[in-house]
Amino acid sequence: MNPSGNYAVEIPEPRISKFLFADSRLGWLWFVARVYVGYEWLSAGWEKVTGGGWIGAQAGAPLKGFLAGSLAKVSGAHPDVSAWYGWFLAHVVVPHAVIFANMVAIGECAVGIALMLGAFTGIAAFAGAFMNLNYLFAGTVSTNPLLFTIELFLILAWRSAGWLGLDRWLLPWIGVPWKPGHAFGSDRTHA
């Protein structure tokens, strides 16, 4: 019992979820999943960075075209885009299309590189899932549901998803918010 009189209850993790999401022996499975998703993000982002219209003098033009299509899906008996998201696109994204175009192109590349290298896998998968959700909210299906689903599993498997990657060394070195790594003195002994 803690000082306030409440009982602290910890629910143990089931063996199957521990095996699937925390066991380094399944690192190969998560390696395949994260390299696939990473490749998809990197190739999409690279096309935007090098293809023109997303970065540089003409930045924002392709994004405005995409947004015009999304905003057309807000109306009708069964709209593909929710009214609240349409408002967000029209009043926040469209006026700042250059900034958002740069963020999309660079963000897609960054997520792709991080996932392919297995660096900060859980954070990269979360960022990718966030982008996929925004594309889905904007009325674009494409590969977004598949990538989003895989990214959810990568988020759950953050402890072992980067085991065959840089996370194997990054996570012990940097640590996590509740337990600092070697870089922050976690290996020091305290008196």
pTM: 0.88
**Residue 189 pLDDT exceeds 70:** no
pLDDT: which is higher, 50 or 182: 50
> 44 CB contacts (<8 Å, ≥6 apart)?
108, 112
DSSP string, 55-118: SSTTTTHHHHHHHHHHHHTSSSSS-SS-HHHHHHIIIIIGGGHHHHHHHHHHHHHHHHHHHHHT
Q: What is the pLDDT of residue 188?
A: 54
CA–CA distance, 96 with 16 (Å, rounded to integer): 46
Q: What is the pLDDT of residue 128?
A: 98
pLDDT bucket at 1, cuts 50 / 70 / 90: low
**Residue 191 pLDDT exceeds 50:** no
Which residue is associated with the tokens 């740069």?
102
Q: Which two tokens stand for residue 164?
A: 């065959």
DSSP state of 191: -
CA distances from 121 to 45, 76, 168 (A): 18, 40, 11
pLDDT tens across 100-147, in order? 999 999 999 999 999 999 999 999 999 999 999 999 999 999 999 999
Q: What is the pLDDT of residue 187?
A: 60
Nearest alpha carbon to residue 52 among 61, 65, 40, 42: 61
Mean pLDDT of 169-180: 86
Backbone φ and ψ of 175, nearest 5°: 90, -165
pLDDT tens across 144-171, in order? 999 999 999 999 999 999 999 999 999 8
Every domain of the chain and the residues it spans: 35-159
